[in-house]
Amino acid sequence: MIPVEKLVDHVRTYNPNSNVKLITQAYEFGKEMHAGQTRHSGEPYFTHPIEVALLLAQQNLDDSTIITALLHDVIEDTQATYRQVAQKFGVDVARLVDGVTKLTNLELSSNDAKQAENVRKLLLAMSKDVRVILVKLGDRLHNMRTIKHMRPEKQLQKARETMDIFAPLAGRMGMQWMRDELEDLSFRVLNPEGRSSILRRFLTLRSQTEDVIPKITQDIRDVLIKANIEAEVVGREKKPYSVWRKMQEKGEGFSRLSDIYAFRILTANEEDIYRTLGAVHHRWTAVPGRFKDYLSQPKSNGYRSVHTTVSGRDGKRVEIQIRTRLMHEVAETGVAAHWSYKDGQRVENPFAVDPFTWLASLTERFGNSDDQDHEEFLEHVKLDMFADQVFCFTPKGEVIQLPRGATPIDFAYAIHTRIGAACVGAKVDGRRVPLWTRLRNGQSVEITTAEGQRPQSSWIDIAVTGRAKSAIRRALREEHRDGYVRLGTELARVALEHVGKKSTDKALATAAKKLGLKNKDALLARLGSAEMTGSDLVGALYPELLSKDATHADQSIAEIVGLDPGQYAQPGQCCQPLPGERIVGIATRGKGVTFHTIHCEKLVQYEDQTNRWIDLRWTQGRNEPTNNVTIEVTMANDAGVLGRICTLIGEQNANIADLQFTERKPDFYRMTIEMQVRDVEHLHHVMTAVEADSDVARVLRTRQKSPLQHEENGAK
């Protein structure tokens, strides 16, 4: 285990004014809280937070971020509470630790709907404080470095999540070194054979050409000396995943790749960048189409550099990046440079991007989208947020930023949806090109439009950006809407009849609401256009009917964490808390604790008795349907309605404990149903199934105890 002295000594190297005492206290507190816990490798668990803290210290980050790294798991995995952390280390640290805890609970590799919602939460956490993401990225990097100790299926899940979300996010934040390592560690899990083949090719190449990197490095140094330019030159082989990705993108073999070597030249000032570029191009032949100037058009995360590819020693093509040392600091640490320290002071790097400005520009392109469909939202995020960018110009000289691989269709929609919809052709640098042409940096694009033109279905495959794809889909849905709705109506009828249910307007409207769609016609259109399946519809209304044969034997039981040895807890009858809800305990006489939902009105009575409050939470897991809850149902006064409702509840594997009518009218009844469910998610399934019945007007959860409700046994 890394001693605290090593951590604080490193922090002192860049911040002599660091609060060493507080960092040491955080180290000891975290070590105490995690005592007895181990990782999958068998090591003490606290080795992980220390490694994350050291990782972030190597980025010269502030004390609050380092302390957060040491404590990032204490609220989630130990008896420590938010209040304790705030009292000991300040509200700023407690807020950061709480933010990391919430991100840890996000399932970013779950189904599209849940993933979209969780990615939204990820972005929200970033907008509040980017340091939350910096700690989370450090946490993920160390977990990926030690992933071999996890179960194989867990390794695949974490590697895919890292490749899809965290590695691109690190790159978009400007932390390219972290992106490279996260991608390579994920590549090792997802495609070990592919990675090994790349490494073998590198070994073969070295044996054939000896080590060419030092030779080319010296060639570049000689050119700079001759031009009287003082600069640092560093060369390297590209990471295996970077090489593999280029092979897949270009459809070429390893031997035909032109840029498996990369060289970096760090100059003293900006003027020397272009002098260096001139000297390099004077000595070697530049490869056409491989020049990128990120000085005149910096990336949104602050990245500035000039890239060129030349035919170097023995005709080998090499990529050369030229930038100043200050630009290089931003290129290595990205938005983290905003919190970097040097000699005890915050570094004032003129090229570092204010992270809040950066986030505003990042979310602007998809945050205001009026299309709330989860699949299209994820396309916005993954294609617009995570992709490398190209910069193209309108005929008036305005700059349009697009992801790499974008086409004139994307360019047209980036200007305006109306321009995109009416696009019939495009000119690039004055020459007419097909709409599927991939745009490159610095090109001038002119869009030709025609009145009456409509988006074509083939454009879906041509477009790259989420904005263009969303607009094209909307237009196509509107154009073929009537046909899709008719087909979707039949598909819905068949899907629901298959599980013994009727496809009523009420059922379809309830499903649309559950799936986040505007109305039942929007749902039917998606069914008819094959963007949704019948199983999606059934799962939204009656999930228990889809999963009734599934086994959950491998799932742990949800239990309450936070009780002292010997304490027992019972739910408050006023709010009937369920597993999955946020809860708080109130100490009673003896060793009893009554727990309530966090929003229970009864907690107001204990505002002045904070010594009786106990932080509690449910562990993740699955219970039997033994937790009491009460719902209020307003239904039509008609024959057979009550029987159907009771059947629906039974089909959802909930138990009815009591039923009582509270209001009887000629046309409707209102009743309360006390039932037993597994958890809050199970309750939502039951309420959705009941609400879908055409004779049910309203379903509400009521926190009032019914007169016949029995006292519940305390659960330890």
pLDDT tens digits, 623-646: 788 888 999 999 998 888 888 898
Question: Do 172 and 261 belong together in one domain?
Answer: no
Q: Please state the φ and ψ torsions of residue 527, each to the nearest 5 degrees.
A: -65, -45
Among the candidates 159, 190, 221, a domain finishes at 190
Beta strands 285-286 and 292-293 are unpaired
Helix then strand count (H, E) for the chain reads 30, 23
Amino acid at 516: G
* Residues contacting 411, CB < 8 A, separation 6+: 392, 400, 402, 426, 439, 445, 447
Tell me if residue 677 falls in helix, strand or coil.
Answer: strand
**What beta strand segments (E) does 301-412 contain?**
306-311, 317-324, 341-342, 345-346, 389-393, 399-403
Dist. CA 34–CA 694, nearest whole Å? 53
Catalytic one of 77, 446, 651, 712: 77
Tell me if residue 386 falls in helix, strand or coil.
Answer: coil
Q: How far is CA 658 from CA 217, 639, 648, 706, in A?
A: 81, 20, 15, 9
For residue 390, the tally of other CB atoms under 10 A from its CB is 21
Question: Do 288 and 379 belong together in one domain?
Answer: no
Q: What is the pLDDT of residue 433?
A: 93
pTM above 0.75, yes or no: no
Question: Do 332 and 388 belong together in one domain?
Answer: no
Question: Do 664 and 692 belong together in one domain?
Answer: yes
- 468: nearest Cα among 460, 476, 478, 479: 460
Question: Do 164 and 229 belong together in one domain?
Answer: no
pLDDT for 352-385, tens place per residue?
A: 666 556 565 555 544 444 444 555 555 555 544 5
Question: Do 76 and 152 belong together in one domain?
Answer: yes
- The DSSP code for 602 is G
Among the candidates 503, 526, 541, a domain finishes at 541
- Is 344 part of any domain? no
- Is 14 part of any domain? yes
- Is 83 part of any domain? yes
- The DSSP code for 255 is G
- Is 353 part of any domain? no
Dist. CA 581–CA 390, nearest whole Å? 45
Q: What is the pLDDT of residue 367?
A: 46
Give the CATH number, domain containing residue 597: 3.30.70.260
- Is 345 part of any domain? no
Contact 707, 573 (CB under 8 A): no
Tokens representing 393 are: 């110009």
Q: What is the pLDDT of residue 120?
A: 62
CA 211 to chain centre: 40
Question: Do 30 and 150 belong together in one domain?
Answer: yes
Q: How far is CA 46 from CA 42, 98, 185, 190, in A?
A: 11, 18, 22, 28
Among the candidates 541, 559, 582, a domain finishes at 541
Q: What is the pLDDT of residue 365?
A: 46
Question: Do 251 and 390 belong together in one domain?
Answer: no
Residue ranges in the chain modelled with pLDDT below 70: 104-128, 208-210, 249-259, 300-301, 312-315, 334-389, 547-556, 704-716
- The DSSP code for 396 is T
Q: Please state the φ and ψ torsions of residue 177, each to the nearest 5 degrees.
A: -60, -40
End-to-end CA distance of the chain: 36
- Is 352 part of any domain? no
Give the CATH number, domain containing residue 451: 3.10.20.30
Catalytic one of 76, 184, 371, 615: 76
Q: What is the pLDDT of residue 289?
A: 75
Give the CATH number, domain containing residue 39: 1.10.3210.10
* Residues contacting 621, CB < 8 A, separation 6+: 555, 556, 557, 558, 559, 579
- Is 549 part of any domain? no
Question: Do 114 and 186 belong together in one domain?
Answer: yes
Question: Do 173 and 276 belong together in one domain?
Answer: no
What are the residues facing 99 on neighbouring strands? none
Q: What is the pLDDT of residue 188?
A: 92
Q: What is the pLDDT of residue 427?
A: 94
Tokens representing 443 are: 């090109």
271 is catalytic: no
- Is 423 part of any domain? yes
Neighbour-count burial for 639-660, b at 16+ CB within 10 Å, e otherwise: eebbebbeebbebbbbeebebe
Question: Do 410 and 451 belong together in one domain?
Answer: yes
**What beta strand segments (E) does 450-582 contain?**
560-561, 568-571
Task: Name the domain count of the chain.
Answer: 5
Question: Do 153 and 202 belong together in one domain?
Answer: no
Q: What is the pLDDT of residue 483?
A: 82
Q: Please state the φ and ψ torsions of residue 622, each to the nearest 5 degrees.
A: -130, 130
153 is catalytic: no
For residue 684, the enclosing domain spans 568-716
